Amino acid sequence: MPTEPTDLASGGATYEPDLGATVVTEGPAPDPDEPGPLGEGRSKGGGYRWVIEWAIILMAVLLFTVLLRTYVVQSFYIPSPSMVPTLAVGDRIMVNKLSYDLHGVHRGDIVVFKRPPLEEQDFPDLVKRVIGLPGETISSQNGHIYINGKLLPEPWLPPGAASYTGALPDDQHQQFNLPGPVKIPPGEYFVMGDNRTDSEDSRYFGPIPEGLIVGRAVAVVWPLSHAKGV
């Protein structure tokens, strides 16, 4: 005769399966190095791989930065007033090192160049404006620059600015001083600061060889209040 289930109200009990029990199945143990289901943490091996990947990325970024600075662009700090008012003391400029691989040096360019042999100031790099080109004769008269005997317009100078034509203080190389005339050798450039009364430039150390030129200044990038193209 079939047994009837006992009513709970009568003090008896019925059997029900434990729905929360863990079911164990046979099979190989899981690999601890394999990532688990979504939401589970990475294994120790996975963490090491993550560190290696990021180290490679950081090294690549560092290498790219070094190559960019060495061959493409570099920033320089302006330590003196020789280029006032175009560049102020404390300005930081961006210099394009590829410019003169693509085209020649132009009159009016602001260039950064390595310290010439006759320059005695303790700066490894200098910044001036290109005024005279290779093969030209440069001179000065009545506060104005002449190239091959013709007046040179200088729109980069502030109104009323004049070229200083006397000997610079402690000048040991007066053969380069204007009024000149100074014949510029092939492959060399006559550079001057925009602040003509306070710039030790080619009037002191002579024309500079093209090989000393680091690149062309393209912009003031700091401080932001001075930011502009040059």
The set of catalytic residues is 82, 128
DSSP 61: H
Residue 174: CB partners within 8 Å, gap ≥ 6?
Answer: 167
Rounded Cα distance, 163 and 139, in Å: 10
Residue 215: CB partners within 8 Å, gap ≥ 6?
Answer: 73, 74, 95, 96, 97, 98, 99, 100, 111, 112
* Two tokens, residue 136: 């030209």
